[in-house]
Amino acid sequence: MTSSYDLRGRAAIVTGATRGIGYAVARELVAAGARVCVTARDPDDVRRTAARLDGVGLPGSVADPDHPRRLTELALRAFGRVDIVVNNAATNQPYGPLMDIDPREWSEAFAVNVEAPLRLVQCAWHGWMAEHGGSVVNICTEGARHVGPRIGAYNTSKAALLHLTGQLAGELAPRVRVNSVSPGLVRTEMARFVWEPGETEIASGLPLGRIGEPEDVARAVLWLCSDAAEWITGADLLVDGGTNVSRARIAP
Ligand SMILES: NC(=O)c1ccc[n+]([C@@H]2O[C@H](COP(=O)([O-])OP(=O)(O)OC[C@H]3O[C@@H](n4cnc5c(N)ncnc54)[C@H](OP(=O)(O)O)[C@@H]3O)[C@@H](O)[C@H]2O)c1
C-alpha cells in the first residue's frame, strides 16, 4: 500500500531551510520522496544543505524582491515542477516596545515575514501551480493570536501572514491548498534567547511538559503538504505542546 504521505515525484521550495524548523521540514519532505530547493542568506550553509539533501539551493534574502522569482526558476530548471512551497524564513526583529521601533525595521519585518511569502506564492502559481496544482504551508506562530511584550512587530507581521493564508486559500482553491502551521516555543537559534535561560521552568508550565523540537513542526508541515490533507485548506494548525490551552492546566 502506498502511504498518502508519499511525495515521490514532487518538488518543494523551502525558505530558511539551513537550520531549525526549515531544515527539519526540508529533511522530512526529502524523506517522503520529494526533491527540495532551499534558500537562506548564508551561501556556505545553503550549499551544504542542498548537498546534504541532494537538492538545489539559492543563497539570498527572501526580502530581495527578485529572490522569489529566481528561486522558483531554479526549482523549475532543476526539477521541472514546484508542487510545494513552505514559507518558513522569518525575522523576529525589530524587538522592543513599538514606540521605540524604527519604521524602516518595521518595513523590513513585513518584507521578510509577509511580502516574501506572497511573492513566492505568486511565482509558484504563475510558474506551475495554477495549471498543475500544489500545496503551500506558511509558518506563523502561536503568538500571532494574542499580544505580548516586545514582540509587537513580529506578532503583527505573523498575524498578517495568518490572514494572508486564509485569503490565498480562498483565492487559489481548488487548484492549490494554502495552510499555516503555528509553532509554540521550539528549540532553535531564533528562540534561544527565550528557552535557554529557563527551559525547565517553561517546560513545566506546558501541558505537554516540554518545549518543541523542529521535528515536531516538520511532521505537521509534511502532513499538510501531503495528499493525506487533501480536503484541508485555509487551516492554521497549532503545534505548541498545549501552550494555547495552558491556562486551564491544574499544576500537579
Ligand atoms: N523557534 C520558535 O520558537 C518559533 C516559534 C514560532 C514560530 N517560529 C517560526 O518558525 C520559522 C523558523 O524559525 P526558526 O526558529 O527555525 O529560526 P532559525 O533557527 O533562526 O532559522 C531561520 C532560517 O531562516 C533563514 N533566514 C532568516 N532570515 C532570512 C531571510 N531574510 N531570507 C532567507 N532566509 C532567511 C536562516 O538562515 P540565514 O540566517 O543564513 O538567512 C535559517 O535558515 C520562522 O517563521 C519563525 O517565525 C519559530
pLDDT, tens digit (0-9, with 9 covering 90-100), for 162-212: 999 999 999 999 999 999 999 999 999 999 999 999 999 999 999 999 999
Could you tell me the distance, in angstroms and rounded to a whole number, from the CA of residue 187 to the centre of ligand 1? 12
86 found inside a domain? yes
- Count of beta carbons in the 10 Å neighbourhood of residue 172: 20
Report the nearest-CA residue for atom 29 of ligand 1: 89
Report pLDDT for 136.
99
| Closest atom, ligand 1, to C-alpha of 143 | 6
Bridge partners of 144, per DSSP, are: none
Q: Is 97 exposed, middle or buried (0-12, 13-18, 19+ CB in 10 A)?
A: exposed
- Specify the pTM: 0.98
What are the phi and psi torsion angles at 249 (to 5°)? -75, 135
Q: What is the largest CA-CA distance in the chain?
A: 58
Report pLDDT for 250.
81
How much is the mean pLDDT over the chain? 97
Residue 126: domain span: 11-186+214-235
Instruction: Assess whether 95 carries a catalytic annotation.
Output: no
Give the Cα-Cα-Cα angle 185, 191, 197 (nearest 5 degrees).
Answer: 90
Q: What is the pLDDT of residues 98-112, one digit of tens each?
A: 999 999 999 999 999
Ligand 1 pocket, 121 CB below 6 A? Answer: no
Ligand 1 pocket, 22 CB below 6 A? Answer: yes
In the numeric block, which cell numbers belong to residue 146? 494574542
Report pLDDT for 2.
56
100 found inside a domain? yes
Could you tell me the distance, in angstroms and rounded to a whole number, from the CA of residue 197 to the centre of ligand 1? 20
Give the CA count within 13 Å in the CB-facing half-sphere of 101.
20
Ligand 1 pocket, 62 CB below 6 A? Answer: yes
195 found inside a domain? no
26 found inside a domain? yes
CATH code of 121's domain: 3.40.50.720
Give the CA count within 13 Å in the CB-facing half-sphere of 82.
29
Could you tell me the distance, in angstroms and rounded to a whole number, from the CA of residue 40 to the centre of ligand 1? 9
